Structure 1
Amino acid sequence: MGVVNGFLGLLRHRDYRLLVTGVTVSSLGGSIAPVALAFAVLDLGGSASDLGLVVAAYALAEVVTVLFGGVLGDRLPRQVMMQGSSAAAFLTQGVVAVALIAGWGSISLLMVVGIVNGSLGALAGPSSSAMTRQTVPEGDLPAAVAGRRLCQNAASVIGFSVAGLLVASFGSGWAIAVDAATYAVAAVCFGLIRVVATSRAAESRPSLVGDLRAGAAEVFRHTWLWLLIGQALLYHLFFGGAQSVLGPIVVGDDLGRAAWGWALAALMAGFIAGGLVSLRWRPRHGLFVGTAMLSLTAAFPFAMALGGTGGGHLGLLLLGAFVHGFGLEIFSVNWDLSIQQNVAEEKLARVYSFDLVGSFVARPLGLAFTGPVADAVGFDRWLVVVGAVMGGSALLSLLFPSVRHLERRSGPSHEVSPV
């Protein structure tokens, strides 16, 4: 009860309350959209390859745009970036919804809008991540980071849960209309935020390339930062394909298709449990603890590998998925907080953009090579390799002093760590 009361106390800060409401509603719609989009493509006569192209167009737009989103997030008021992105996404998703409901939608339209929405999300993503620090006092930042992530994860669980029902009951067009409405609500919330602008004066701004170079220099100034961005690249490179390509096949063949849905639900439950624990647990060396907990993500691919050998057990699969989500969320909260507390305010959005690039770039590559490699070596063996890489790379990161020694701040400070 104390954890809940502590988070509710954070909501006394008006700007934080508006920020959390906006990102939570956006997460709800963002969880509905992929399910609705998949069925929309299929309803239009598209194949799995067509769906792959639509999703790839969205992912490619994110990769190309996200670094510029970081630059703009440090140049312009961040709430303006977030409001503009949400308002534009409301319009684009509204067009898709109307097209599908009216019967004149096409796969080409979905692809074009996917590119636009991917770009919009990437432009606003770094600003959104950097905004938390501007909405609460320094002493409340740890709980604010954990509370925001908890609300987003809870909204995602609800969104994934109701998405199929919305599509089945009302059709893909109406489900996407719900997504569009969430963007409208988010745009209103972001527009009401009133924080001190952190943008630099126009005469002091270098070129876009100069800004990117300065952002990269800030990343490489902190050993723990570039090291764990690299570790995240490995995580997404290996686990992206294991989850999206191998998991449904291995688990579906051994335990049935419903078991894969239960596994993903257990994964999200782990996220929520990790978020609740993070509201109360504040280790002094949070990055060290979080990185150690990140090694627990190996549990999920290892549990899936047992299914590939014919020894799958539903309880073990669900436990592996839960432990994965729990460990990843503990890491994510402490990672986010470490960035917030140790990166200069005027470079924060750019640093987040480099962090996002590490994920966006690697995941499509992992999706591409997982199938051929797994076919060559065997699904179960490749899942073991995936688990070993994920767990081993996290444990190896603990050998670096900058990861072990970085301390969580408990009070206001304007110093940033160079380690």
Structure 2
Amino acid sequence: MTTSPLASRDFRALVGGVTVSALGSAMTPVALAFAVLHLGGTATQLGLVVAAFSAAEVVTILYGGVLGDRLPRQLLMQGSSAATALSQAVCAAVLITGHGSILFLSLIGMVNGCLGALAQPASSAMTRATVTEAQLPRAVVLRSLASQTASAVGFAVGGIVVAFAGPGWAIAVDAGTYTIAAILYSLIRVAHTPSSSGARILSELADGAREVLRHTWLWLLIGQALLYHLFYGGAQGVLGPIVVGDTWGEEAWGWALSALMAGFVTGGLVALRWRPRHLLRSGVAMLALTAAFPLAMALSGELWLVLLGAFVHGVGLQLFSVGWDLAIQENIAPDMLSRVYSFDLVGSFVCRPIGYALTGPVAALVGVDLWLVVVASVIGLSSLAALGSSSVRGLTRRPTVGPEPEPVTTSG
């Protein structure tokens, strides 16, 4: 029996949907940033627009985790993609016809944040349901690699489309990709066992929280992610488009994000071959490399050095992410996966709105370059500090014991 996860029809549909939506979604941050700037918005207003999207994710994502363990995950993903396609189509039409406003972008961002948050935990948990245990490690890498490759292309294309056609057309492409993703998710046929029957949402969330707290490595790195995104989110989402765009042009920011995603792709290719026994030890050390991007934006006057910093950032983050995702997939019970992923995502999102909203005023007060150096120091040193935990250093991957039967699927 082949150990390639691509032998699974359901995994191919899952990866196809994730990949095509990632292609369009990568264009949206570029389009959104310059849509705000074209409307005369400031760094602070851009931060507030992005914060609205992130705040909506935080409010909704724990509920999405409960739904992902209660309901068929593929149904949640399909519905979320279809609804997001509609909302992005409306956003594109408004911008293309010249009727956009910063308030409108904030409101549509909140809608999209809620829609995405409902499906994200289910999407993350779905990988394990579509492959065998023997296929799982490679499936985690291939899914991430496909998504990040699409994102790399999307960021580059997004910058070009925005520069030559305007932000609205980039968002229109995103609407089309979500439509295709919804169709692909409808092809997934995996059995679903509900986590419980009739339990209250708060009770199920409490069960998920207890599962997180049961694993020291899990809650510790979720806490580290909270600090990481508090500082880094605003550096990329608010200061990046302004620093790079003002210095080298709008399309240069698209290339910077493309270099970031190229780093992800390279990290994924490395992860296909490099499979360290300790899932998190090397990955957390690699996470410290993500300081390279904000540091390069602060200290370099050359675009190629900024692109190199973005690339190094992507490599480090990807090598960490592969080990992190596999650690969760291998050590958490299937009926708890969506809830655990929702807490993981909250750790990434809960402080993002604060970071987005405060980045503009703080950078104006202390200086953009100095603040980017502070950001680089915090995310680099906090990553290395996490290695002080024996739980993080000692977690090992599950040994592969041989071929297993294909995952149970329902008939079409």
Q: What TM-score bracket applies, with the shorter chain setting the length?
A: 0.7 to 0.9
Q: How many equivalent residue pairs?
A: 401
**AA in 2 matched with 1:19:** L
Contact 1:46 1:107 (C-alpha < 8 Å) held by counterparts? no
Residue 144, structure 1, aligned to residue 139, structure 2: yes
SS in structure 1 opposite 2:388? Answer: coil
Contact 1:139 1:410 (C-alpha < 8 Å) held by counterparts? no
Q: Which moved more, 1:148-157 or 1:243-252?
A: 243-252
Which of 98, 104, 107 lines up with 1:112 in the alignment? 107
Kindly tell me: are residues 294 and 345 of structure 1, through their superposed partners in 2, closer, same or farther at Cα, counting changes over 3 Å? same
Kindly tell me: are residues 101 and 394 of structure 1, through their superposed partners in 2, closer, same or farther at Cα, counting changes over 3 Å? closer
**AA in 2 matched with 1:90:** A
Kindly tell me: are residues 386 and 410 of structure 1, through their superposed partners in 2, closer, same or farther at Cα, counting changes over 3 Å? same
Measured after TM superposition, the shift of residue 387 of structure 1 is 2.3
Distance 1:147 1:377 in 2: 42
Distance 1:239 1:201 in 2: 37
Q: Who is 2:120 aligned against? A: 125
Deviations 1:155-197 (A, max 9, x none): 1111122224434555544433322221111111111101110
Q: Who is 1:3 aligned against? A: none
Residue 191, structure 1, aligned to residue 181, structure 2: no
Measured after TM superposition, the shift of residue 394 of structure 1 is 1.5
Q: Who is 1:417 aligned against? A: none
Kindly tell me: are residues 254 and 213 of structure 1, through their superposed partners in 2, closer, same or farther at Cα, counting changes over 3 Å? same
Which of 23, 30, 38 lines up with 1:28 in the alignment? 23
Deviations 1:381-413 (A, max 9, x none): 433332222222111211211111111113369
Distance 2:213 2:57 in 1: 23
Residue 395, structure 1, aligned to residue 384, structure 2: yes
Q: Who is 2:395 aligned against? A: 406
Distance 1:377 1:35 in 2: 26
Matches for 1:132-171 after TM superposition, within 5 Å: 132-167=127-162, 169-171=164-166
Contact 1:212 1:350 (C-alpha < 8 Å) held by counterparts? yes
Distance 1:295 1:50 in 2: 30
Distance 1:336 1:265 in 2: 23
Which of 35, 38, 41 lines up with 1:47 in the alignment? 41
Kindly tell me: are residues 322 and 39 of structure 1, through their superposed partners in 2, closer, same or farther at Cα, counting changes over 3 Å? closer
Distance 1:108 1:375 in 2: 23
Which of 212, 223, 226 lines up with 2:216 in the alignment? 223
Q: Who is 1:353 aligned against? A: 342
**AA in 2 matched with 1:126:** P
Residue 244, structure 1, aligned to residue 270, structure 2: no
Deviations 1:76-105 (A, max 9, x none): 111111011111112222333444556666
Matches for 1:260-409 after TM superposition, within 5 Å: 261-307=254-300, 312-409=301-398
**AA in 1 matched with 2:268:** G
Which of 82, 85, 90 lines up with 1:87 in the alignment? 82
Q: Which moved more, 1:249-258 or 1:285-294?
A: 249-258
Distance 1:163 1:259 in 2: 11
Kindly tell me: are residues 217 and 106 of structure 1, through their superposed partners in 2, closer, same or farther at Cα, counting changes over 3 Å? same
Deviations 1:100-141 (A, max 9, x none): 556666655544332221111000000000100001111111
Which of 176, 180, 183 lines up with 1:181 in the alignment? 176
Please report the TM-score for the alignment, with normalisation by the length of structure 2.
0.88
Contact 2:51 2:354 (C-alpha < 8 Å) held by counterparts? no
Q: Who is 2:409 aligned against? A: none
Residue 64, structure 1, aligned to residue 59, structure 2: yes
Deviations 1:234-277 (A, max 9, x none): 11112223333444555667777776554433322211100111
Distance 2:123 2:342 in 1: 11
Runs of 4+ in 1 over 6 A off after TM superposition: 252-258
Measured after TM superposition, the shift of residue 29 of structure 1 is 1.4
Q: Which moved more, 1:190-199 or 1:373-382?
A: 373-382
Measured after TM superposition, the shift of residue 233 of structure 1 is 1.1
Contact 1:138 1:412 (C-alpha < 8 Å) held by counterparts? no
Kindly tell me: are residues 234 and 82 of structure 1, through their superposed partners in 2, closer, same or farther at Cα, counting changes over 3 Å? same
Kindly tell me: are residues 26 and 384 of structure 1, through their superposed partners in 2, closer, same or farther at Cα, counting changes over 3 Å? same
Kindly tell me: are residues 108 and 180 of structure 1, through their superposed partners in 2, closer, same or farther at Cα, counting changes over 3 Å? same
**AA in 1 matched with 2:155:** F
Q: Which runs of 5+ in 1 are unaligned?
A: 1-5, 414-419
Contact 1:341 1:409 (C-alpha < 8 Å) held by counterparts? yes
Distance 1:254 1:37 in 2: 19
Distance 2:245 2:97 in 1: 36
Measured after TM superposition, the shift of residue 40 of structure 1 is 4.8
Deviations 1:173-223 (A, max 9, x none): 443332222111111111110111031352xx4211111111111111100
Identity %: 64
Contact 1:299 1:387 (C-alpha < 8 Å) held by counterparts? yes
Contact 2:50 2:353 (C-alpha < 8 Å) held by counterparts? no
Measured after TM superposition, the shift of residue 370 of structure 1 is 3.2
Distance 2:343 2:98 in 1: 40
SS in structure 2 opposite 1:139? Answer: coil
Distance 1:221 1:55 in 2: 33
**AA in 1 matched with 2:119:** A
